[in-house]
């Protein structure tokens, strides 16, 4: 169900990204795809430090694959590159970000800079980050999404890749 907002409310929210409480997030049944990805990561984390090599996006199944992203961490978080950009992300955003850096996206849309804060928190804390993000798609539609970013390691103490899953629940109307 769309949330009706005024133009000034949309301007206040546009580009806002915020970290959410894990317990509250995990209790929301509407976020079941995101929760399944988090549980998959937790299973990997229980036996070993999760790495990119351990992740098989197809193992999560065709119902979840379109909701996934893999984001490479560049120079411990100075920038990020989307390596996988699921089809649902492309549908919601209006374009594919695969192969694009976050700095390129920010150059086109400054409001994307707040998403960097969530990516940075994932790297700096080396822990899952649950988030909510408000943005305007290329089709000029105001969107509201929820997701999780999960750190993955190759070699070394810092995450080198981030596995993410996002769910779109509310589309905020321009009326």
SS3 170: strand
Residue 3 pairs in a beta bridge with 172
Segment 152-161 shows an average pLDDT of: 92
More confident of the two residues 71 and 15: 71
Residue with tokens 């700095």: 103
In this prediction, residue 110 carries a pLDDT of 76
- Is the pLDDT confidence value at 2 over 80? no
C-beta of residue 21 within 8 angstroms of C-beta of residue 130: yes
Segment 47-70 shows an average pLDDT of: 91
pTM: 0.84
C-beta of residue 94 within 8 angstroms of C-beta of residue 139: yes
DSSP assignment string, 91-141: HHHSS--TT-BHHHHHHH-GGGHHHHHHHHHHHHHTS-EEEEEEEE-TTS-
More confident of the two residues 21 and 99: 99
In this prediction, residue 168 carries a pLDDT of 87
In this prediction, residue 134 carries a pLDDT of 77
More confident of the two residues 173 and 142: 142
Average pLDDT, the chain: 83
- Is the pLDDT confidence value at 140 over 80? no
In this prediction, residue 61 carries a pLDDT of 92
In this prediction, residue 170 carries a pLDDT of 61
How many other C-beta atoms can be found within 10 angstroms of the C-beta atom of residue 70? 19
pLDDT band at residue 28 using 50, 70 and 90 as cut-offs: confident
Residue of 159, 149, 152 whose CA lies nearest to 129: 149
Q: What share of the chain is helix, strand, coil (3-state, %, to 5)?
A: 40, 30, 25
More confident of the two residues 56 and 71: 71
Query: Out of 3.40.50.800, 3.40.50.2300, 3.30.360.10, 3.30.450.20, which CATH number does the structure's domain 3-173 have?
Result: 3.30.450.20
């Amino acid at each position: 169900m769309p949330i009706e907002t005024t133009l000034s409310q949309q301007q206040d929210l546009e580009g806002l990204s915020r970290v959410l409480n894990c317990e509250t997030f995990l209790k929301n049944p509407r976020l079941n795809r995101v929760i399944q990805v988090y549980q998959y990561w937790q299973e990997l984390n229980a036996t070993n430090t999760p790495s990119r090599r351990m992740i098989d996006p197809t193992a999560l199944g065709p119902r979840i694959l379109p909701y996934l992203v893999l984001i490479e961490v560049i120079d411990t978080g100075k920038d990020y590159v989307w390596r996988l950009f699921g089809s649902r992300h492309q549908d919601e955003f209006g374009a594919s970000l695969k192969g694009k850096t976050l700095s390129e996206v920010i150059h086109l849309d400054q409001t994307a800079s707040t998403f960097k804060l969530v990516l940075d928190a994932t790297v700096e804390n080396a822990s899952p980050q649950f988030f909510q993000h408000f943005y305007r798609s290329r089709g000029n539609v105001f969107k509201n999404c929820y997701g999780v970013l999960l750190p993955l390691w190759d070699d070394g103490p810092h995450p080198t890749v981030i596995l993410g899953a996002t769910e779109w629940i509310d589309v905020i109307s321009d009326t």
